[in-house]
């Protein structure tokens, strides 16, 4: 009986090995997932029993935990109210975390592996464990100017440092006070949440990175880039009829206000962008072909779903293009084109940075509880959609838009601003866009302003907001 006995002994070994492999899988591989599951109440109680790290902008905490006397020992507070809500998100007992609170939860809660050694020493020294701080790239002046500009509107502002991708401002309106959701009085939190959900639109929706809209004429920057890449110059003469006959149907495409772009029926590319001539860009898109337009759009980040800042950014898309009609409408930013304000800002940033698009990021540094830097974001190239020459041509054309064209409201005395307006048709009143950067010869800031259903033009509604955001940033830079 000894031979089968040995086999039984080996089988037992195999069974126990299975058990151990399985607990390895659960306690190591799936550990983070299980620990961070919002239904896992033990983590919640544990998290609240520790001092959660702060979210810091320019040395000031915009989210911090203060000790309380109730069962959950620390209360999360947002001293600036709604100013940074689109960035911080909230940290709620009932609804979990959103925004940076969610994306950097491990570090803020102190469970991040990079804090491991410290946790071990906490164990031995008896020090209360606490979370690390997250330092953001935001500029308070930019954020305030953006929120002030959007006051009373539904919209978003995204401002980037084009040379690094650092997010200088990220605003979404309407906003809300995250403190209302972070309270320990659960009934009050539920009421606050219900009120937010009942509002239209829900203020917790992030208009800057979580929603997509038709871009309208700001998309012409991408078509212009494709044209310049194809050998056109700003001075190239392109057809610009008063009415563009759609190739596949009896329909026509008109200019804004049904105007003629030029009595001669043709004009230079720079002029076409300056006055935002629809018929010229519809024809240009068809001449370049779908592939050229699509390739350039993808170079700017369209249809790429890998962007997180660290919150995930909704993927902007060109949509399906079935025929020439749709390509014509796509080329003026209508049809199925859908972009986030973040994507719009990235278009401006790519032009500003000589054709190199830097990956946008919000987190500058991660600090340990003793404020030593444990991680710092290194700027990263996201894509290189076009050459420096193309960038120079686009800059010249976008300068002209602000100097002589639809973007006049973005002009700042003494500073050359380059930009492009957009007025996008949709079911409601038009969406108003402006993207731009400044100073044009040495870009410090790239910005996108979006006003949902603003009803006016991008030049009327959004360009002034962009101007004040750019002004606020450049003033601040001068002071340094």
Partner 1 sequence: MAGPSTDPRAAAAPGATVPTRRGTEALLLAFAVLLTLAAQCIVDLTVTGSLRPELATFGIWFTALWTGAHLVVRRFAPYADPLLLPCVAVLTGLGLVMIHRLDIADPDAGSDAPVQLLWATIGLVLFVAVLLTVRDHRLLSRYAYILMLVGLVLLAIPAVLPASISEVYGAKLWIRVAGFSIQPGEFAKICLVIFFAAYLVDKRDVLALASRKVMGLEFPRGRDLGPVIVVWVLSILVLVFERDLGSSLLLFGIFVVMIYVATERASWVVIGLLMFAAGATLAYNAFGHVQARVDTWLDPFAYYDGSGYQVAQSLFGLGTGGLFGAGLGGGRPDAVPIAKSDFIGSAVGEELGLFGLAAVIMVYLILVERGLRTSLIVRDPFGKLLAAGLSFAVAWQLFVVLGGVTGLLPLTGLTTPFLAYGGSSLVANFGLVALLVRISDAARRPATPHVAPQRLTDAPTEVVQP
Element (H, E) at 424: strand 418-424
Which residue stretch of 25-33, 78-86, 251-259, 366-374 sits at the interface with partner 1 (rule: CB under 8 A)? 25-33
Which residue stretch of 28-36, 124-132, 390-398, 428-436 sits at the interface with partner 1 (rule: CB under 8 A)? 28-36
Minimum distance from CB of 40 to partner 1 (Å)? 4
Minimum distance from CB of 6 to partner 1 (Å)? 6
For 258-390, strand residue ranges (E) read: 266-268, 357-358, 363-367, 373-376, 381-383
Q: What is the bridge-based pairing of β-strands 55-57 and 133-136?
A: parallel
Judged by beta carbon, residue 4 or residue 59, the one nearer partner 1 is: 4
Q: Does 371 bind partner 1 (CB under 8 A)?
A: no
Judged by beta carbon, residue 4 or residue 257, the one nearer partner 1 is: 4
Find out whether 256 and 423 touch, Cβ atoms under 8 Å. yes
Of residues 46-85, those binding partner 1 (CB under 8 A): 46
Closest by Cα among 243, 300, 251 to 277: 243
Minimum distance from CB of 49 to partner 1 (Å)? 11
Minimum distance from CB of 120 to partner 1 (Å)? 9
Minimum distance from CB of 41 to partner 1 (Å)? 6
Q: Does 151 bind partner 1 (CB under 8 A)?
A: no
Using alpha carbons, list the distances in angstroms from residue 463 to 30, 179, 270, 423: 49, 32, 19, 11
Using alpha carbons, list the distances in angstroms from residue 10 to 6, 16, 22, 24: 6, 10, 18, 21
Q: Does 121 bind partner 1 (CB under 8 A)?
A: no
- Per the listing, tokens 């690094």 go with 164
Minimum distance from CB of 46 to partner 1 (Å)? 8
Q: Does 117 bind partner 1 (CB under 8 A)?
A: no
Q: Does 124 bind partner 1 (CB under 8 A)?
A: no
Which residue stretch of 9-17, 95-103, 291-299, 320-328 sits at the interface with partner 1 (rule: CB under 8 A)? 9-17
Q: Does 30 bind partner 1 (CB under 8 A)?
A: yes
Q: Does 39 bind partner 1 (CB under 8 A)?
A: yes
Judged by beta carbon, residue 31 or residue 404, the one nearer partner 1 is: 31
Question: Contacts with partner 1: how many residues (CB under 8 A)?
Answer: 37
CA dist 273 and 194 (Å) reads 45
Q: Does 4 bind partner 1 (CB under 8 A)?
A: yes
Residue 130 annotated to the active site: no
Judged by beta carbon, residue 72 or residue 148, the one nearer partner 1 is: 72
Minimum distance from CB of 104 to partner 1 (Å)? 19
Minimum distance from CB of 39 to partner 1 (Å)? 6
Find out whether 168 and 142 touch, Cβ atoms under 8 Å. yes
For 387-468, strand residue ranges (E) read: 418-424, 431-438, 445-451
Judged by beta carbon, residue 8 or residue 373, the one nearer partner 1 is: 8
Closest by Cα among 467, 435, 471, 473 to 137: 473
Judged by beta carbon, residue 8 or residue 381, the one nearer partner 1 is: 8
> Which tokens hold the place of 189?
């939190």
First to last CA, the chain: 87
Find out whether 221 and 446 touch, Cβ atoms under 8 Å. no
Judged by beta carbon, residue 31 or residue 248, the one nearer partner 1 is: 31
Which residue stretch of 7-15, 155-163, 249-257, 347-355 sits at the interface with partner 1 (rule: CB under 8 A)? 7-15
The number of helix segments (H) and strand segments (E) in the chain equals 18, 19
93's CB contacts (< 8 A; 6+ apart) are: 44, 48, 72, 182, 184, 186, 189
Judged by beta carbon, residue 4 or residue 263, the one nearer partner 1 is: 4
Closest by Cα among 246, 244, 263, 264 to 254: 244
Residues 16, 18, 24, 30: is their CA dihedral positive or negative?
Answer: negative
Out of 130, 217, 316, 468, the active site residue is 217
Cis peptide bond upstream of 201, omega within 30 = yes
- Give catalytic residue positions: 217
Q: Which residues bind partner 1 (CB under 8 A)?
A: 1-6, 8-10, 12-13, 15-16, 18-20, 22-24, 26-28, 30-35, 37, 39-43, 45-46, 123
């Amino acid at each position: 009986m000894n031979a089968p006995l040995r086999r039984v002994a080996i089988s037992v070994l195999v069974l126990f090995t299975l058990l151990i492999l399985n607990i390895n899988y659960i306690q190591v591989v799936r550990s983070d997932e299980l620990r961070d599951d919002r239904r896992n109440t033990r983590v919640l109680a544990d998290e609240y029993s520790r001092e959660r790290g702060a979210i810091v902008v320019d040395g000031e905490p915009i989210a911090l935990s203060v000790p309380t006397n109730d069962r959950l020992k620390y209360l999360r507070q947002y001293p600036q109210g709604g100013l940074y809500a689109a960035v911080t998100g909230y940290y709620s007992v009932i609804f979990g975390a959103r925004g940076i609170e969610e994306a950097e939860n491990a570090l803020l809660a102190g469970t991040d592996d990079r804090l491991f050694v410290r946790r071990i020493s906490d164990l031995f020294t008896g020090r209360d464990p606490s979370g690390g701080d997250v330092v953001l790239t935001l500029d308070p002046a930019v954020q305030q100017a953006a929120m002030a500009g959007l006051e009373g509107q539904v919209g978003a502002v995204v401002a980037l440092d084009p040379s690094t991708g650092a997010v200088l401002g990220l605003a979404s309106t309407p906003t809300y006070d995250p403190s209302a959701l972070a309270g320990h009085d659960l009934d009050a939190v539920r009421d606050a949440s219900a009120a937010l959900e009942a509002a239209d639109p829900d203020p917790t929706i992030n208009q800057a990175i979580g929603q997509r809209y038709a871009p309208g004429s700001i998309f012409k920057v991408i078509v212009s880039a494709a044209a310049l890449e194809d050998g056109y110059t700003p001075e190239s003469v392109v057809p610009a009829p008063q009415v563009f006959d759609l190739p596949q149907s009896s329909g026509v495409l008109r200019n804004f206000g049904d105007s003629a772009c030029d009595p001669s029926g043709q004009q230079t590319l720079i002029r076409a962008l300056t006055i935002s001539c629809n018929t010229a860009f519809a024809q240009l898109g068809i001449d370049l072909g779908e592939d050229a337009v699509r390739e350039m759009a993808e170079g700017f980040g369209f249809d790429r779903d890998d962007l997180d800042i660290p919150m995930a950014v909704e993927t902007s898309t060109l949509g399906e293009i079935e025929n020439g009609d749709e390509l014509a409408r796509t080329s003026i930013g209508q049809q199925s084109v859908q972009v986030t304000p973040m994507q719009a800002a990235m278009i401006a940033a790519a032009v500003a940075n000589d054709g190199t698009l830097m990956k946008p990021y919000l987190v500058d540094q991660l600090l340990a509880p003793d404020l030593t830097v444990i991680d710092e974001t290194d700027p990263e190239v996201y894509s290189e959609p076009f050459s420096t020459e193309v960038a120079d041509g686009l800059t010249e054309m976008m300068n002209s838009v602000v100097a002589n064209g639809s973007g006049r409201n973005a002009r700042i005395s003494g500073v050359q601003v380059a930009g492009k307006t957009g007025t996008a048709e949709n079911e409601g009143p038009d969406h108003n866009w402006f993207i731009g950067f400044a100073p044009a010869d040495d870009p410090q800031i790239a910005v996108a302003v979006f006003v949902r259903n603003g009803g006016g033009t991008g030049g009327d509604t959004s360009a002034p907001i962009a101007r004040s955001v750019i002004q606020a940033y450049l003033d601040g830079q001068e002071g340094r």
